[in-house]
Structure 1
Amino acid sequence: MNKSVLTIIVPCYNEEEVLPETVKELGNILTNLIEKDKIDSKSKLLFVNDGSNDQTWNLISDYTKRYNYITGIKFSRNYGHQNALLAGMNLAVNFSDMMITIDADLQDDVNAIPKMVEKYYEGYDVVYGVRNSRKTDTFFKRRTALAFYGLMKKLGVNLVPDSADYRLLSKRATEGLLAFKERNLFLRGMVPLVGYRATKVYYARKERFAGKSKYPLSKMLHFALDGITSFSIAPIHLILYLGLITVAISAICMIYVIIEKCLGHVVSGWSSLMISIWLLGGIQLISISVIGEYIGKIFSEVKHRPRYTIEIETYTNKMNKQS
C-alpha cells in the first residue's frame, strides 16, 4: 500500500485554553498513524489562526518550532470559520493526498480519524464524520437542528444530517470543492455537490474540553440563513405565494364590505383597519428583507474581494524542506 500524505486542518479562534490539549491529542493520532505506516511521514497538523485576539497564535508559533509536524497560518484579521477551513485546504491540496478538517474544541472525537483514513484507502474520496447521537445538546438545539435539516431537505439541499465540518476529503475532491468560487460559503452544502464516492464514520460527540463556544444562538441563526439563501430561492417563491394569498384575502374582504354596505350594515372598522395596516406592513418588511438578503449576497459576490489575507504562513516552507 502506497502511503499518502495527510494534512489535518484545524481552524482556531481564541482557543488558547484548549489548544495545548488539542495539539497533544491530534499529535498522538498523527504520529501513531505515521508509526503504523498508514500515512506518509510528511503528514502535518495545520492550525489556521482566524484573527484570534488572545495567545492562540503565539502558542501555534511555539508549537511549529517544537514539532516538525505542526504548521500554521495566521490571518491578518478574523475572516470566519468557513474561510479558515478553505485557506487550509488551499495550501494543503498542493502537498497532500487527503485532508481532514476538525474544530479545535475537541468535541469531535479524534479517534475517528484512523477510521476515516481506512475508508480513504478503501477508495472513498469523501468521508463524513457523523455524530451518533445529540445527547450533549440542549433540547432547544436538538429540535432546531432537526428542523433545519428537515427544511433544507424540503428545499432540495443535499446535506448529511448530524455532520458538521469534521470530514476527510481526497486531493481530487478538495480540488473539486476549491473550484467553487462563491464568497458566501456553506461548506456543508457544497461538499455533497462535488460528488465522488462518499461514506460516513460515526462517533460520539463530547462536551467542549475548555473555553467558550464560538457559535452562540445569533451566529447559528445567521449560519442557517446563509445555508438557506446560498442554496435555494424558495424564500423568494414563498414571498410570491404570500402576496397571492394576501391579495385573495383582500378580495374576499372587499366583497364582504360591499355586501355589508348594500345591506346597510355600516359599522366603524377602526380596529380591523389598524390590524390590516400592521399586518400588511409587516409582510412587506419581511418580504423586502428576504429580497435584500439575496441582493446583499449578489453585492458581495460581484466585488470579487479576496476571501482572506494571510499574514504569516509556515506550512509551505516546512513541506518544501521535506520535498
Structure 2
Amino acid sequence: MSNIIYFVVPCYNEEAVLEVTAQKLMEKVESLIQRDVISPKSRITFVDDGSKDQTWPMIKELSTTHHLISGVKLSRNRGHQNALLAGLMTVKDLCDATISLDADLQDDIDVIDQFIDKFLNESCDVVYGVRNDRTTDTGFKRHTAQMFYKIMNQLGADIVYNHADYRLLSRRALNGLSEFKEVNLFLRGLVPLVGYKSDVVYYERHERFAGESKYPLKKMIAFAIEGITSLSVKPIRLVTTLGISVFVISLIPLLYSLVQWMNGNTIKGWTTLILSIWTLGGLQILCIGVIGEYIGKIYLESKQRPRFIVEEFINEVD
C-alpha cells in the first residue's frame, strides 16, 4: 500500500501566486498518484497565516473544487515558522510523511520524487532540500546568507547549510518535533535536534514568478537573531569573555597612570578618558542588550502561550 504524503504550504497574502501554485502542485501530486508512488489520500494543505487579502477564500474555493486541496486557517498572523508548524502538527496523524515548501514555488518541485525515494527506499525520516547554488540571489543576500550559516555553525547550532524549510518529515520525525515545546521557533535548527536518519536532496531555486517576497531585509535580520538566540547560549558566553578581556586590558592604562603619578607627572588624558567612557559605555549597552534578548525569551517561554490557534481545518477524506 502506497504512503500518504501531505504537502504543507504556509501562505501569507499569497493571492497572486495561489492559483498557479495549486495547479502545479496538483499536477505533480496526480502524477505521483498515477504512478502509485503515493496514496490517493495524499493532500496539499495550504496554511493561511492570518492573510489580509483573498488567500483564505481562495483556499476554501480550491478545496471545494479539487479534492486534493485542504486548508488550515490560523486565528491570526503568527509568522512563517508558527504557520508551518501549525500545518505539520495538524496533519501529522493523517499521513505517513509531510513535505513542506513555500507558496511561491521557488523550490523545485521536480525533486519531490527524490524526497519520497529516500523516504521509501532508504528509510530516511528527514530529507532536507538543499540549494546547489545561490545564483538567483543578489550579491548582498548571497553573502549575508553565507555569513549567517557560518556564524550559526560557529555558535554551535547544528543547521544544514543552504537549507530553508523545504524538507520531508516522516510521521516519526513529526512526533519527535512535537515534543519540542518552545515558543521561539526556528525550525531549521530544531529539526536536526530530532535526530533519526536523514539525507539531502540538491536542487536549483527558481525566481519568484509573482507577488512579493515576505522576507525583506528587516525580517531577515530579525529571523537571524531569532535563530541565533533560540539555539545557542554562546552570545552570553561571549559577553562574559568580552567583560574579562576589557578588564584585563584596562589594567594596562591603570598601571601606566600609577607609574606616571609616582613619577610626579601630570596626567592630561582628557581625550583618552572620554574615549574610554564612550567605548566602555557602548560595550555595556551592547552586553545588556544581548542579555536582555535572552531574558525576553525566558519571559515569553514562561507564559506558555499557544504557538498558534487553528480556527478552521478543511480536509476532504476519501
**Is 2:71 the counterpart of 1:54?**
no
Gaps of 5+ in 1: none
1:213-252 alignment, distance < 5 Å: 213-252=213-252
Measured after TM superposition, the shift of residue 225 of structure 1 is: 1.0
Show the counterpart of 1:175: 175
Distance 2:98 2:186 in 1: 18
Alignment-derived partner of residue 41 in structure 2? 42
Q: Is the 8 A contact 2:261 2:267 kept in 1?
A: no
Residue 97 of structure 1 corresponds to 96
Q: Which residue of 2 aligns with 1:71?
A: 70
1:281-311 deviation digits (Å, cap 9, x = unpaired): 1111111111111111111111111111222
Separation in 2, partners of 1:239, 1:290: 8
Distance 2:222 2:81 in 1: 13
Q: State the partner residue of 2:149.
A: 149
Aligned to 1:254: 254
Q: 2: distance between equivalents of 1:134 and 1:146?
A: 10
Q: Which residue of 2 aligns with 1:134?
A: 134
Listed one character per residue, the Cα deviations across residues 194-237 of structure 1 (whole Å, up to 9, x for unaligned) are: 11111111110011111111111111111111111111111111
C-alpha separation between the residues in 2 aligned to 1:290 and 1:226?
Answer: 12
8 Å Cα contact 2:11/2:103 also seen in 1: yes
Which one is further off, 224-233 or 95-104?
Answer: 224-233
Partners of 1:46 and 1:119 lie apart in 2 by 22
Q: Which runs of 5+ in 2 are unaligned?
A: none
Normalization by structure 2: what TM-score? 0.97
Q: What TM-score comes out, normalization by structure 1 length?
A: 0.96
- Give the Å deviation of 1:20: 1.1
Q: CA RMSD in A?
A: 1.0
Cα distance between partner residues in 1 of 2:117 and 2:242 = 50
Cα deviations by residue, 1:36-55 (Å, 9 ceiling, x for unpaired): 11111110000000011011
CA distance in 2, matches of 1:112, 1:179: 29
Q: 2: CA distance between counterparts of 1:114 and 1:28?
A: 13
- Deviation of 1:138 (Å): 1.3
Amino acid at match of 2:94: F
Structure 1 partner of 2:16: 17
Is the partner of 1:168 in helix, strand or coil?
Answer: strand
CA distance in 2, matches of 1:174, 1:76: 23
- CA deviation string 1:121-143 (max 9, x = no partner): 11111111111101011112111
Aligned residues: 317
Q: Which residue of 2 aligns with 1:165?
A: 165
CA distance in 1, matches of 2:61, 2:230: 38
Determine the C-alpha separation between the residues in 2 that align with 1:211 and 1:302.
38
* Secondary structure, counterpart of 1:107 in structure 2: coil
Shift of 1:148: 1.4
| Mapped partners of 1:74, 1:110: distance in 2 | 24
Q: Is contact 2:257–2:267 with CA below 8 Å preserved after alignment?
A: no
Q: 2:120, 2:243 → 1: CA distance?
A: 53
Give 1:6's aligned residue.
5
In the alignment, the residues of structure 2 paired with residue 209 and residue 256 of structure 1 have an alpha-carbon distance, to the nearest angstrom, of: 65
Q: CA deviation at 1:64?
A: 0.6
**CA offset at residue 269 of structure 1?**
2.1
User: Identity of aligned pairs, percent?
Assistant: 51
Paired with 2:93 and 2:240, the residues of 1 have a C-alpha distance of 46
Give how far 1:267 is off: 4.0
Q: Counterpart amino acid of 1:71?
A: S
Q: Distance in 2 between matches of 1:311 and 1:265?
A: 76
Separation in structure 1 between the aligned mates of residue 291 and residue 267 of structure 2, nearest angstrom = 38
Q: How far does residue 3 in structure 1 lie from its aligned partner after superposition?
A: 0.2
